[in-house]
Amino acid sequence: MTPSQITLLGATGSIGSSTLDVVARHPGSYQIYALTANTSVDAMAGLCLKWQPKFAVMFETDAAETLEKRLQADGSNTRVLSGEAGLLQVVEDQNVDCVVAAIVGAAGLVPSLAAAKAGKRVLLANKEALVMSGKLFMDTARDNDAILMPVDSEHNAIFQCMPDCLTQHHSSVKMTNQQVNAGIEKILLTASGGPFRSFTADQLEHVTPEQAVNHPNWDMGKKISVDSATLMNKGLELIEAYWLFDMDIANIEVVIHPQSVIHSMVSYSDGSVLAQMGNPDMRTPIAHALAWPERIVSGVEPLDIFEVAKLDFEKPDLERFPCLGLCYRAIGMGGTATIVLNAANEIAVEAFLNEQIGFTDIARLIEQTLDKADISDKVDSLAAIQAADVMARQICNDCIAEILRAQ
Ligand code: NAD
Ligand code: MG
């Protein structure tokens, strides 16, 4: 069997390195065709020398030039590309079978959507791309026979707990029995609750970026760590599940489960509740998404159920964590509202990480942006989606400028 050729978008990130760890265990089955990153030349140079990909893409032109010089000096044959054009080239390349979409934020939308359009096997970690493009993304994947595999641990768990007849719509395998009564009643989307699960409203006012990026169970990039602390991550995942599994939002319930052992559940009409469990390590969903319908070794330690001993479940507190409520609100508003929400969150999280605003200002800014933005029904093209994103960023930046002026 010829190895599957992989383009890894966001190679220098947390999901990028977990993916490379899994791939390294199966050199006969998977090969790295292209690696991409934003600006981190040192990290990319190291990865290119180790993996010898055919292409490396740096989003920033200056970084691409520096990387090219470094690789030439080291006698590497890797070709260096840059910008959106470079990303699109390594996604659409005919030799590529699988695209791992692990860029963080809206920056990943164009290449992730292009991977779906090119009919690739798409391992989707970049939830923001789906939150922004929802129906367009799902339609594009289906119309072009892409195999859409969720990497987000909760969505991967849900996928694993769904009956085969429904998960096959993620693949080029045509559904043979669309009328089957699968009896799915509910998705139970689990959340760790983040590092501030038991903080009071007053304590939340004073948390620092350093505390917020320190997640109790998962080791992740900065943006998603802050999202986990505000529960925005769970809200984005709610929207992600809504699109991926075509579920009524009323039938997706968020469950706080501090141990992060159950990664999500599906509840059926006969009373069965199926859960997927495992140690909190992204190599499990990545390995599953790479190999499905087969299973491969991921390097993750087997779960010691006796050491876990106890599983707790609580309802989320929308008062202390208003970001989750804002996600419900945005879904209810429809149209471009989830794009506006996502854009405002990205701007607010960056401002928080730069110590310009406080932790609880994140939710306030998202709410203000949702209030001020013109929400449109036009979400059927990339241009319309990008326009809503740009408009929301502008509104949110103006709100931040107001906060800074008042200080
Ligand atoms: P990260 O910050 O560790 O890495 C992000 C990657 O994207 C880096 O390689 C960076 O170079 C690249 N990148 C950033 N901005 C870019 C730009 N403008 N253009 C091109 N490339 C750019 O992030 P992460 O934690 O690996 O998360 C990646 C995605 O996966 C996010 O959407 C996140 O929500 C999702 N996700 C992550 C985890 C996790 O455990 N880390 C779990 C579930 C889902
Ligand atoms: Mg997740």
The model's confidence at residue 180, banded by pLDDT at 50, 70 and 90, is: low
> Measured in angstroms, how far is the CA atom of residue 228 from the centroid of ligand 2?
9
> What length is written for the chain?
407
Structure tokens at 133: 């493009």
* Co-location of 237 and 144 in the same domain: no
Q: Which atom of ligand 1 is nearest to the CA of 220?
A: 41
Cα separation of 32 and 380, whole Å?
33
Q: Is the CB of residue 125 below 6 angstroms from any atom belonging to ligand 1? A: yes
Tell me the sheet residues that pair with 150. 124
Q: Is the CB of residue 324 below 6 angstroms from any atom belonging to ligand 1? A: no
> Measured in angstroms, how far is the CA atom of residue 221 from the centroid of ligand 1?
6
The closest residue, in CA terms, to atom 36 on ligand 1 is 125
Cα separation of 352 and 347, whole Å?
9
- Give residue-wise pLDDT tens across range 141-159: 999 999 999 999 999 999 9
Burial class (CB in 10 A: 0-12, 13-18, 19+), 191: buried
* Co-location of 147 and 177 in the same domain: no
Which residues lie closer than 8 Å to 36 by C-beta, 6 or more apart? 7, 8, 9, 10, 11, 56, 57, 58, 59, 86, 87, 90, 103, 111
pLDDT exceeds cutoff 90 at 177? no
The model's confidence at residue 166, banded by pLDDT at 50, 70 and 90, is: low
The model's confidence at residue 171, banded by pLDDT at 50, 70 and 90, is: low
Q: Is residue 66 in a domain?
A: yes
Residue 34, helix vs strand vs coil:
strand
Q: Is the CB of residue 127 below 6 angstroms from any atom belonging to ligand 1? A: yes
Q: Is the CB of residue 38 below 6 angstroms from any atom belonging to ligand 1? A: yes
Residue 71, helix vs strand vs coil:
helix
Cα separation of 27 and 34, whole Å?
15
Tell me the sheet residues that pair with 35. 8, 56
Beta strands (DSSP E) in 39-107 are: 55-58, 79-82, 98-101
| Cis peptide upstream of residue 3 (ω within 30 degrees of 0) | no
* Co-location of 177 and 80 in the same domain: no
Mean pLDDT of 177-199: 87
* Co-location of 181 and 92 in the same domain: no
> Measured in angstroms, how far is the CA atom of residue 151 from the centroid of ligand 2?
8
- Give residue-wise pLDDT tens across range 50-62: 999 999 999 999 9
> Measured in angstroms, how far is the CA atom of residue 18 from the centroid of ligand 2?
14
Tell me the sheet residues that pair with 5. 31
Asked if residue 268 lies in contact with residue 187, where contact means CB atoms within 8 angstroms, the answer is no
Residue bearing tokens 């089957």: 180
Environment of ion ligand 2 (residues, CB < 5 A): 152-154
* Co-location of 173 and 243 in the same domain: yes
Asked if residue 281 lies in contact with residue 177, where contact means CB atoms within 8 angstroms, the answer is no
Phi, psi for 373 (deg, rounded to 5): -75, 150
DSSP 292: T
Average pLDDT taken over every residue of the chain: 95
Q: Is residue 352 in a domain?
A: no
Tell me the sheet residues that pair with 266. 187, 274
pLDDT exceeds cutoff 60 at 241? yes
Residue 83, helix vs strand vs coil:
helix
* Co-location of 84 and 169 in the same domain: no
Q: Is residue 358 in a domain?
A: no
Return the ligand number nearest the Cα of 157: 2
Q: Is residue 26 in a domain?
A: yes
Asked if residue 117 lies in contact with residue 101, where contact means CB atoms within 8 angstroms, the answer is no
Indicate the residue among 261, 292, 316 that finishes a domain.
316
Q: Compute how many other C-beta atoms are within 10 angstroms of the C-beta atom of residue 371.
A: 9
Asked if residue 229 lies in contact with residue 124, where contact means CB atoms within 8 angstroms, the answer is no
Asked if residue 226 lies in contact with residue 195, where contact means CB atoms within 8 angstroms, the answer is no
> Measured in angstroms, how far is the CA atom of residue 268 from the centroid of ligand 1?
34
| Cis peptide upstream of residue 27 (ω within 30 degrees of 0) | no
Q: Is the CB of residue 11 below 6 angstroms from any atom belonging to ligand 1? A: yes
Q: Is the CB of residue 389 below 6 angstroms from any atom belonging to ligand 1? A: no
Return the ligand number nearest the Cα of 37: 1
* Co-location of 295 and 164 in the same domain: yes
Return the ligand number nearest the Cα of 158: 2
Establish how many alpha carbons lie within 13 A of residue 389's alpha carbon, considering only the half-sphere containing its beta carbon: 21
Indicate the residue among 84, 119, 151 that finishes a domain.
151
Q: Is the CB of residue 150 below 6 angstroms from any atom belonging to ligand 1? A: no
**Whose CA is closest to 216, among 188, 275, 257, 156?**
257
Looking at the structure of the chain, the number of domains it has is 2
* Co-location of 121 and 170 in the same domain: no
Mean pLDDT of 216-239: 95
Q: Is residue 303 in a domain?
A: yes
Q: Is residue 186 in a domain?
A: yes
Q: Which domain holds residue 157?
A: 152-193+231-316
Q: Is the CB of residue 14 below 6 angstroms from any atom belonging to ligand 1? A: yes
* Co-location of 145 and 269 in the same domain: no
Cα separation of 394 and 322, whole Å?
22
Q: Is residue 387 in a domain?
A: no
* Co-location of 162 and 301 in the same domain: yes
> Measured in angstroms, how far is the CA atom of residue 267 from the centroid of ligand 1?
31
Structure tokens at 352: 């928080």
Where residue 27 sits, what CATH number does that domain have? 3.40.50.720
**Could you give the angle at which helices 153-161 and 283-291 cross, rounded to 10 degrees?**
50
Return the ligand number nearest the Cα of 125: 1
Cα separation of 386 and 392, whole Å?
10
Q: Is residue 351 in a domain?
A: no
The closest residue, in CA terms, to atom 19 on ligand 1 is 38
pLDDT for position 168:
62
- Give residue-wise pLDDT tens across range 87-135: 999 999 999 999 999 999 999 999 999 999 999 999 999 999 999 999 9
> Measured in angstroms, how far is the CA atom of residue 78 from the centroid of ligand 1?
23
> Measured in angstroms, how far is the CA atom of residue 179 from the centroid of ligand 1?
38
Mutate to test the pocket of ligand 1, among 59, 220, 288, 386 (most ligand atoms within 8 A of CB): 220
The model's confidence at residue 217, banded by pLDDT at 50, 70 and 90, is: confident
Indicate the residue among 117, 135, 151 that finishes a domain.
151
pTM surpassing 0.85? yes
pLDDT for position 174:
35
Task: Please report, for residues 4, 41, 43, 46, the alpha-carbon distance to residue 50 in angstroms, rounded to integers and kept in the order given.
Answer: 18, 14, 11, 6
Q: Give the CA dihedral 365, 371, 376, 381, nearest 10 degrees.
A: 0
Q: Which atom of ligand 1 is nearest to the CA of 233?
A: 34
Asked if residue 347 lies in contact with residue 396, where contact means CB atoms within 8 angstroms, the answer is yes
Mutate to test the pocket of ligand 1, among 8, 9, 12, 14 (most ligand atoms within 8 A of CB): 14
* Co-location of 160 and 301 in the same domain: yes
* Co-location of 280 and 144 in the same domain: no
Q: Which atom of ligand 1 is nearest to the CA of 153?
A: 43
> Measured in angstroms, how far is the CA atom of residue 10 from the centroid of ligand 1?
6
Q: Compute how many other C-beta atoms are within 10 angstroms of the C-beta atom of residue 76.
A: 18
The closest residue, in CA terms, to atom 31 on ligand 1 is 104
